[in-house]
Structure 1
Amino acid sequence: MSQRNEIAAADDAVSAEYETVDRRVLVVGAGAAGARAAIELVEQGVPPEDVLVIGKRGHGDAHTTWARGGINGALGTHDPEDDWTVHAADTLNEGHHINDPDAVEAVTERMPRLLRELDDWGMAYSRTEDGGIDQRYFGAQSFRRTAFAGDHTGESLLRTLVAKAQSLDIPYRENVLVSRLVTDGDGPDGRVLGAAGTDLDTGEFVVFDTDVVVLAAGGYTSLYKRHSSRDDENTGDGPALAYQAGAELMDMEFVQFHPTGMVGDRYGEDWDGRLVTEAVRGEGGRLFNSEGERFMEEYSPDQMELDARDVVARAIASEIEAGRGTENGGVYLDISHRDRSFIEERLPRMYERFDELGVDMAEEPVEVAPTAHYGMGGVAVDDAGETRVSGLYAIGETMAGVHGANRLGGNSLAETIAFGEVAGEAIAERLATAPDGRDSDDLHQHARVHLTDLARLAESDGAHDPVALLDEVRELLWDASGIRREADGIEAGLDRLRQVRERASDLAVGDRTSRSYEFAIDLGFALTVAESVLRGARERTESRGAHYRTDHTERDPEWRRNVRYERDSVGGMHLSTTPVDEPSEAVQAALDAGHELDYHQLE
């Protein structure tokens, strides 16, 4: 149900109509996490007309499609000794033991069943000779547990979920940018009332009147200069929206730099930083420096190219800094020792991409360098994915807890599916016992204030371009909180961020359908998220996982804690720390068993 309302503004120049949409559940984000949550809601008996999934891009055009290498689950296709407890142990080890053990176990225990469920829904998995779901090695995993569809797993996964959602008649709305969540209070006393935003096609404002909001809006790594996302996604929307609404953030300092992003003049600016999937190394790809040395023999002789992503990324950075990188500031990734038919079958998208760029992977190496890829931090949630703001949930890359200090490759898609189901179950149960009916006066009162501000932002004639300021944020985050960090650099980054924030109050913005309008809103998200990353990096005076401090190079047992971020009473950012819980006895037994990948099984 929808209706039109008028913003009653004192200044006629910023008066504008807005549409009101009434749904019991609003899912913000149309990637795998959002789609899976919506599917679970309807499968649990919530009428599809009570649910709405919205995305700020076209239907099916989500960052999920760029996750190529695979999705984890302990099926034991090739290694029957694998099970969910070993998967959990690998996840905790890779996360340097500051993961939320309950969240880890929720994902790893569910995934074998959920992978088979996707198979039932038509997921186009690659198959073994006897027709089973094939699985490959991924970095830092003890066994072959990464199921895959060639090297287009995310694309195939999202296609499967969209088809399932459509079969259930789940409503979806495209090209809507949510810029504010509305609550009836601050912090832990708040309750979500709905959301406000803009239809980017028409420029019309929209207010969503709802019982529950599910944030499945991705992460924040495109706020770095080199990143594996597109510039208009993973801009920190979800964490920033939740933080503004009174939820806590957690572990924002942990940003994963994937070892192998594209680099080199021959690929062009549009491809800089784009991911060369870990599947290339999982299928036997080798890393060489400019002197022809297979340098991972020095850094990790046992696990080689399939060591943890933070280890491999720092090794590549060390080779480049030592002058053994390529002219383009990278190293070489070579899988040409494999047969052409093998590469074309197992890595079809990678082969096609580089072939179109004039590089034959079956004959020559490709150039790669680390690229910002995944934010382990995000919104702090409970076991059901709910924040401390009643009715506000966060799942997928928007949430924190599963990955700790470094994400295990193949776990991102797993998290989206598992916590989509977890949150969907919990919300369906909530709705079954909650009355269907809301007092919307507070929602509209607060939404009108925000929409009036947006109306003033649109077509403002200030001095600064929001795109240029976003690029400044990307530069300063790369410089101050990149692969290597230290106190003086972090402080310099905070100073630069304060200067960007000052200039951001005087923007030159087009109308509400323009890209500059969208990027102006993204800039607001970016300023919040960048501050949290920098302040967390300053706070954590140790090196752990993806967070490496050159002035505190060792891991400190006293820092086995999570950093939390909340808005204080005057709008400032307050940091605190909390201890990490212990895993279950079953997972502890798997940790004690000491399972570990032996790379040389590949050779």
Structure 2
Amino acid sequence: MPEYETLERRVLVVGAGAAGARTAIELVDRDVDPADVLVIGKRDHGDAHTTWARGGINGALGTRDPEDSPSIHAADTLNEGHHVNDPSKVETVTERMPGLLRELDSWGMDFSRTDDGRIDQRYFGAQSFRRTAFAGDYTGEALMETLVERARALEIPYRENLFVSSLLVEDGRVRGAVGTDLETGEFVVIEADVVVLSAGGYTSLYRRHSSRDDENTGDGPALAFLAGGTLADMEFVQFHPTGMVGARYGEEWDGRLVTEAVRGEGGRLFNANGERFMERYSPDQMELDARDVVARAIGSEIAAGRGTDHGGVFLDISHRDRSLVETRLPRMVERFETLGVDLAETPVEVSPTAHYGMGGVVVDDDGETDVDGLYAIGETMAGVHGANRLGGNSLAETIAYGAVTGEAIAERLNEGTDSQPQSGLYTIDALAEAHLGALEALATHEGTHDPEALLDELRELLWTHAGILRDGAGITAGRNALETIRRKAADLSVGSTTDRSFEFALNLGFGLVVADAILRSAEMRTESRGAHVRTDHPESDPSQRHNVVVRSDGVGEMSLSTDPVGTPSEAVRDALEAGYTLDYHQLE
């Protein structure tokens, strides 16, 4: 057995973005002792992917449009998700968000405001009303700063640069986790009554993506699945319409997001011929149609030879007043200024980029998985977004389910019924022994293949075979190619536990699990729905209005089946029947 540090906590939160931070805050606000909680981050404190969510956070406050309501917000979410969302989870988010936005305001979040001082709201794609609250174009950054400050005031313990690579489970009950301190290289075993996975999604497993390469690598879904959890909707991967074009701005910027707020403030899309092409694809909602619609429209223009020399199209907001652009989009103005481009005067080049995984871990209404005591929230969980996510709902989900799950866990702990079972069969050290041995064997392994290079192969594989357009033959080819990468991954050349190659090797292991689930689920869904487009099955099939779920068969293989979709509440059904839609032309 290698040496390792041991910790004991009642609640371990894996992932320190908005979802994890909000859960911990709720726990302490509900009288859980801060000393009983530990939040673990893979990066420095506050340096979470949340900060990259710029455009806004949804909630039916009615600041600009008093006729908006949580039920209409839910209807928009279900329509955007092509009605394979979990209605109860959707309504949990939409009902809670107005109050949670006001709570964030009371905590000092730097919201943009109307002239009379209220939280301002802007249009976002496929939303019937202006319900996206925002802080300029740095909403995620402002949100994260607010949550970190609140957590510090509550003295919530935090451990940074700790990579959790396995959950410890006994008889279907979570017992803790094993990780590696990426700075010291020391292994860490944490015993916990409850574990919350808020470790993000999986879109940086694609060649072009809006995340940094070392985050959103599928940690959360893979950890849950390997511990006995169930995955769902893994075939639904959102490609944001407007990622930066690396051939124009430099490789380091390839796929990085140009926030939807640019289009929300009136930005227009043009092809290389100067045509405002969304008139062909969506004459009513134009640039503010659903993300999947706009992304495919851009892809179609490029495929038809009407793209730029660099493989994109133009996004132009120069017709708007400079003062508005600089006030509402300050981070975008600053970013392009560093690249020698004046956003207020000059069109910028964009192309679709992998942005969000709608799939994830199956959880109940409190966020608990099939594994007793294991919860999953934020982009790690499935259910809220269905086949396509409504812009502005990602931050909303993190805050809403952070509060919901924190409340449920606090109640569980405060009832005093959640002490670990004393079976006498396994100590926490015995449960950790096998994985600690595997980690030690991985470190400094002198094999043939570079894990970072294999990660790049995996990203190319998913981009090619499970990208914005798919077909059965391509998916089959992707599954075969995945097996080749899996064989190579059994013979890695890895440095010490403080070397980046060790981290890449762990990311690769998670990525192989998640890629397998994506490809198998995409193969099973023989229709086109939302972000999942099968060119060999171009129409939606009403008989496939269900969720594809992925379970372990008990011997390490994946078993796929389908689950039925629930029914919305009467109020949401009424909102769906009313048919609220955005008329883009009121922005003109």
Alpha-carbon contact 2:387-2:529 (below 8 Å) kept: yes
1:581 maps to 566
Residues 449-499 of structure 1 deviation map (CA, whole Å, 9 limit, x = unaligned): 101110010000100000000000000100001010000000000010000
Matched, 1:23 2:9: yes
Residues 4-31 of structure 1 deviation map (CA, whole Å, 9 limit, x = unaligned): xxx2xxxxxxxx2101100000000000
Residues 519-574 of structure 1 deviation map (CA, whole Å, 9 limit, x = unaligned): 10000000000000011000000000000000000010000100000111221000
Matched, 1:380 2:362: yes
SS of 2:210's equivalent in the other structure is coil
Distance in 2 between residues matched to 1:483 and 1:419, nearest whole Å:
29
Distance in 1 between residues matched to 2:205 and 2:150, nearest whole Å:
32
Gaps of 5+ in 2: none
SS of 2:178's equivalent in the other structure is strand
SS of 2:112's equivalent in the other structure is coil
1:125 to 111, 118, 121: 111
Residue 264 of structure 1: how far off its partner (Å) = 4.0
Matched, 1:428 2:410: yes
Matched, 1:285 2:267: yes
1:270 to 232, 252, 256: 252
Letter of the 1:36 counterpart: R
2:178 maps to 196
1:162 maps to 148
1:397 maps to 379
Alpha-carbon contact 1:99-1:404 (below 8 Å) kept: yes
Give the total of aligned pairs.
585
- 4+ runs deviating over 2 angstroms: 435-443
2:204 to 222, 241, 247: 222
Letter of the 1:176 counterpart: L
Residues 155-204 of structure 1 deviation map (CA, whole Å, 9 limit, x = unaligned): 0000000000001000000000000001013xxxx000000010101000
Distance in 2 between residues matched to 1:259 and 1:41, nearest whole Å:
37
Moved more, 50-59 or 567-576: 567-576
1:11 maps to none
Distance in 2 between residues matched to 1:435 and 1:570, nearest whole Å:
29
Alpha-carbon contact 1:183-1:443 (below 8 Å) kept: no
Distance in 2 between residues matched to 1:527 and 1:494, nearest whole Å:
11
1:238-317 to 2 correspondences below 5 Å: 238-317=220-299
SS of 2:528's equivalent in the other structure is coil
Distance in 1 between residues matched to 2:421 and 2:246, nearest whole Å:
55
Distance in 1 between residues matched to 2:421 and 2:109, nearest whole Å:
39
Residues 23-42 of structure 1 deviation map (CA, whole Å, 9 limit, x = unaligned): 00000000000000000000
Matched, 1:411 2:396: no
1:66-77 to 2 correspondences below 5 Å: 66-77=52-63
Alpha-carbon contact 2:244-2:255 (below 8 Å) kept: yes
1:146-545 to 2 correspondences below 5 Å: 146-185=132-171, 190-433=172-415, 434-436=417-419, 439=422, 441-545=426-530
2:38 maps to 52
2:93 maps to 107
**1:435–1:572 CA distance, 2 compared to 1 (3 A):** closer
SS of 1:64's equivalent in the other structure is helix
SS of 1:22's equivalent in the other structure is strand
Distance in 1 between residues matched to 2:269 and 2:441, nearest whole Å:
52
Alpha-carbon contact 2:248-2:349 (below 8 Å) kept: no
Residue 266 of structure 1: how far off its partner (Å) = 3.6
Residue 432 of structure 1: how far off its partner (Å) = 1.4
SS of 1:373's equivalent in the other structure is strand
Gaps of 5+ in 1: 1-6, 8-15
Residue 436 of structure 1: how far off its partner (Å) = 4.3
SS of 1:23's equivalent in the other structure is strand
Instruction: Give the fraction of aligned pairs with identical amino acids, expressed as a percent.
Output: 72
Residue 442 of structure 1: how far off its partner (Å) = 3.7
Distance in 2 between residues matched to 1:343 and 1:144, nearest whole Å:
18
Distance in 2 between residues matched to 1:552 and 1:93, nearest whole Å:
21
Letter of the 1:115 counterpart: L
Residue 437 of structure 1: how far off its partner (Å) = 5.5
SS of 2:341's equivalent in the other structure is coil
Distance in 1 between residues matched to 2:174 and 2:511, nearest whole Å:
22
Distance in 1 between residues matched to 2:248 and 2:170, nearest whole Å:
53
Distance in 2 between residues matched to 1:386 and 1:177, nearest whole Å:
22
1:80 maps to 66
SS of 2:547's equivalent in the other structure is strand
Residues 104-143 of structure 1 deviation map (CA, whole Å, 9 limit, x = unaligned): 0000000000000000000000000000000000000000
Alpha-carbon contact 1:107-1:415 (below 8 Å) kept: yes
The TM-score, its normalising length taken from structure 1, stands at 0.96
Distance in 2 between residues matched to 1:438 and 1:49, nearest whole Å:
21
Distance in 2 between residues matched to 1:234 and 1:90, nearest whole Å:
26
Matched, 1:35 2:21: yes
Residue 44 of structure 1: how far off its partner (Å) = 0.8
Letter of the 1:290 counterpart: A
Matched, 1:601 2:586: yes
Residue 444 of structure 1: how far off its partner (Å) = 1.5
1:144 to 127, 130, 134: 130
Distance in 2 between residues matched to 1:377 and 1:435, nearest whole Å:
29
Letter of the 1:323 counterpart: G
Alpha-carbon contact 2:246-2:252 (below 8 Å) kept: no
SS of 1:211's equivalent in the other structure is strand
Residues 377-399 of structure 1 deviation map (CA, whole Å, 9 limit, x = unaligned): 00000000000100000000000
Root-mean-square deviation over aligned CA pairs? 0.8
Letter of the 1:532 counterpart: A
Residue 339 of structure 1: how far off its partner (Å) = 1.4
Distance in 1 between residues matched to 2:539 and 2:144, nearest whole Å:
40
Residue 428 of structure 1: how far off its partner (Å) = 0.5
Alpha-carbon contact 1:181-1:192 (below 8 Å) kept: yes
Letter of the 2:575 counterpart: A
Distance in 1 between residues matched to 2:208 and 2:187, nearest whole Å:
33
SS of 2:353's equivalent in the other structure is strand
Distance in 2 between residues matched to 1:85 and 1:435, nearest whole Å:
35
Letter of the 2:73 counterpart: H
Distance in 1 between residues matched to 2:536 and 2:248, nearest whole Å:
36
Alpha-carbon contact 1:262-1:368 (below 8 Å) kept: yes
Moved more, 333-342 or 376-385: 333-342
Distance in 2 between residues matched to 1:66 and 1:435, nearest whole Å:
36
Residue 435 of structure 1: how far off its partner (Å) = 4.9
